[in-house]
Amino acid sequence: MAKKSMIAKQQKRQQMVEKYAEKRRELKEKGDYEALRKLPRDSSPTRSNNRCAVTGRPKAYMRKFGMSRIAFREYAHKGQIPGVKKASW
């Protein structure tokens, strides 16, 4: 489990990205890079990273399912992910 502070920081970044998205788009269209530079750093979408919804793990993230490989494997074995089953041959 990731530290709660890291999960909270990532959620805060995501909210800031959503808040400034429209303003960033307008400034980019105008080409006003000075004003764009004055916006908060965390308002840039490139600073946010994907985290597992279950554990908060930042690495080995599977976009399709929104969780890390470890949590995915655990949930798949329990049969809690629809449409996913363990392969056997």
Q: What is the pTM of this model?
A: 0.72
pLDDT, one tens digit per residue, over 44-54 is 999 888 999 89
* Average pLDDT across the chain, whole number: 91
Q: Say whether pLDDT at 2 is over 80.
A: no
Residue with tokens 């429209």: 22
What are the residues whose beta carbons fall under 8 Å from the beta carbon of 61, sequence distance 6 or more?
Answer: 50, 51, 52, 67, 68
Tell me how crowded residue 19 is: count the other CB atoms within 10 A of its CB: 12
Q: Name the residue ranges covered by the structural domains of the chain.
A: 1-49, 50-89
CATH architecture of the domain 50-89 equals Irregular (4.10)
Question: Measured in whole angstroms, how far is the alpha carbon of residue 68 from the centre of its chain?
Answer: 12
